[in-house]
Chain A
Amino acid sequence: MALFQKISQLREFVEEVLKILYYYRGRVIFSFSGVALGILSICIIITTIDGANKKAQVIFEALGPDAIMIFGGGERQRAARIRVSTLRTGDADLLARVEGVYDVMKVFSARNVMMRYKDRNWQTQAIGSTTNYFESFSWGFQAGTVFTADDYDRAEAVCVIGAKVHEELFRGGPALGKTILVGKLPTRVIGVLEERGGSVGGPHVDDRVIMPLTTVTKRIVNERRYLSMVRLKTHRDLDKTIEDVRATLRASHGLKGNLDDDFTIRSSKDILAFVTVISGSLLLFLGTASIVALVVSGFVLANLFYLTIQERKKDIGIRRAYGATQKGILLSFLFESILITFIGGIAGIVLSIVLGGTFEKLFDIPMMFSFKVVIFALLFSFLTGLLSGLRPALRASRIEPIEAIRG
């Protein structure tokens, strides 16, 4: 059966429902806000998880899917944030001979080094590395260029500065050829890195000064034996290479039997796994919160509706007397509840866009707002309206007109 013969009747019907909602606005606003909050948290979950995944993808690509990093100190010490020097310069040379390995990068980072330019001071890390550092991280230059093998061999006092350091010491102005003090060492700036933004569980990625490894270990700190990190790439299967790397290092460090590793191996796979765990806990926490919010608002809506029906008995009776069918009453009540949750859902989406943008700026949480989010949110709000409206609507439709009119 077509419920409405003419478009004008449908319009009339919709207008009436809107007027009903306005008339009962005090109650409507309760259920409405509940739904809006529920949908808001759903949107935040999805955008944050999508954002985290996208970020992970970016990190994954930046690190290279074939990259392996080795740090000094076992898992336990790393977890306790204890830095242990166990990775030797010689280890890097051994690893270079492992099958399939290429592009070995050595890193020694000196923490908390004071950088000075004129009257400006900035404390950050001085990273000593090999010449392949920038290419390995696919890190481009705003200005200038990379240090050379000659610079490396002669431990020249040259440096490449990150965008954050550039900002702090030069206020973004020209820096090439200027001399800054790295600790006590006057050092020439030969390059400025492009801004990358964000951080991966540590200091800001743009907050760094990169110099030849030799310069850092010989002229800034006196550290001839150890490295903080070795990074390498492989042509072979990642897991197999990791196995070989581990065996090589255990042999070199004289670790026998079931002694724990005194080094830590990380690959881009670990980062993906880490992000998955983060997304998982986020989903669990916020997901529970949003479902609870939706269920509670659904109940509130259902109960308010139920109460209203008593009050609207005459309304129903009149409509029935004037030709509304049971189906018509059912549909109009369902439409009402779905409209409330639907508008609530839209409000939640808008709110999440506004709040999401603010979050992104405040906490540096990446958000990925997509069409998928909107579809999800609308679907959820629709379902909430349908489920909570169904019982009251059925009850309303079963009211006999005479019962209603008699009061």
Chain B
Amino acid sequence: MIVLKDIRKSYFVGDRELPILKGIDLTVTKGEFVVLMGVSGSGKTTLMNIIGLLDKQTEGEYIFADTNVDGLDDEKLADMRNNHIGFVFQQFFLLPYLDAIENVLIPIVYSRKDIKHPRDKAKVLLGRFGLEHRIHNKPSQLSGGEQQRVAIARALVNDPDLILADEPTGALDSKTGGEIMELFRMLNDEGKTIIVVTHDPKLASFGRRLVRIEDGAISEDIAT
């Protein structure tokens, strides 16, 4: 479902070209659980942003869900993100003025899919993650782990094909972080494609495939 062909990305600082990604070839098929590992500055976040259609490559070809996304306009890209991808971030990024269930429903506001009874669905998701009593709490009333579980419920509510998580355990203690990773494992068992981007070697064991990025290129790609 993801085919990256010789993806390159450079930033320009004045006249100087600063290459971040130096030719990435990567294919991820449906149902995989990939851990994208790399130290800070390796280019892993840039790669994730390109995969998540939040950023564009300078060179190379990217085919996502059988569509060449090169040259799609803002509206089409927004649509693709909404339809196919659920994002999870290190800092959770819940909206402070909405309660848990309203945060989960954000993707629905922009959705073109016909999701039946989205509120019930959001409730079920929150219930599955042990948050049934937190439905009407604001993010400020939730612990870090609870906030991240709300964020994962938000990533799932619109039935995406791919969950893209950027350092999902970075702001959590290791026990809570482990629980979150178990949750991803469970979702993967149900058939969701999952890509977790991290610098933390401990997370490698939760995935089924490890892709290591070093200095803008893939240095290791193994099944775990």
Contact = CB atoms under 8 A, between A and B. Distances in A.
B110 A319 contact: yes
B108 A405 contact: no
Contacts of A324: 78, 110
B108 A9 contact: yes
A322 B54 contact: no
A327 B49 contact: no
A317 interface: yes
B97 interface: yes
A326 B107 CA distance: 15
B78 A12 contact: no
A19 B107 contact: no
B43 interface: no
A20 B154 CA distance: 19
A402 B49 contact: yes
B52 interface: yes
Contacts of B105: 12
A274 interface: no
Interface string B127-157: 0000000000000000000000000001000
B57 to A, nearest CB: 13
Nearest to A321: B87
Contact of B107 (A5, A322, A328): A322
Given A12-B108, A324-B78, A318 B95 contact: yes
Nearest to A319: B106
B96 A318 contact: no
Interface string B107-132: 11111100000000000000000000
A18 B180 CA distance: 33
A13 B108 CA distance: 10
Contact of B110 (A328, A400, A401, A405): A328
Interface in A286-340: 314-315, 317-328
B173 interface: no
A154 B55 CA distance: 106
Contact of B78 (A13, A19, A325): A325
Nearest to B157: A322
B110 A23 contact: no
A137 interface: no
A10 to B, nearest CB: 9
Interface string A1-21: 100010001001100100110
A320 B95 CA distance: 13
B82 interface: yes
A285 interface: no
Nearest to B118: A8
B34 to A, nearest CB: 19
Given A9-B108, A23-B97, A321 B75 contact: no
Contacts of B79: 323
Interface residues of A, number: 29
B208 to A, nearest CB: 25
Contact of A1 (B75, B109, B158): B75
A321 B108 contact: no
A170 interface: no
Contact of B54 (A22, A405, A407): A405
Nearest to B84: A323
Contacts of A318: 87, 93, 95, 106
Interface string B82-104: 11000101010101111000100
Given A1-B75, A5-B112, A16-B102, A323 B81 contact: yes
A322 B95 CA distance: 13
Given A317-B93, A319-B106, A19 B54 contact: no
B74 interface: yes
A385 to B, nearest CB: 20
Contacts of B82: 322-323
B97 A22 contact: yes
A257 B106 CA distance: 88
B97 A20 contact: yes
Contacts of A20: 97
Nearest to A407: B91
Interface in B155-214: 158
A321 B81 CA distance: 7
Nearest to B85: A321
B98 A323 contact: no
Contacts of B112: 5
A156 B108 CA distance: 91
A320 B93 CA distance: 12
A380 to B, nearest CB: 29
B109 A13 contact: yes
Interface string A370-407: 00000000000000000000000000000011100101
B77 to A, nearest CB: 9
Question: Which 6 residue pairs spanning A and B have beta carbons closest together?
Answer: A323-B82, A23-B97, A323-B110, A325-B78, A322-B107, A19-B97
27 contacts: A9-B108, A9-B109, A12-B109, A13-B109, A19-B102, A23-B97, A314-B93, A318-B87, A319-B110, A321-B52, A321-B81, A322-B81, A323-B78, A323-B79, A323-B82, A323-B83, A323-B110, A324-B78, A325-B74, A328-B110, A400-B54, A401-B54, A402-B49, A402-B54, A402-B55, A405-B93, A407-B91
Given A16-B109, A323-B158, 10 more contacts: A9-B108, A12-B105, A16-B102, A320-B78, A321-B52, A321-B81, A322-B82, A323-B81, A325-B74, A400-B55
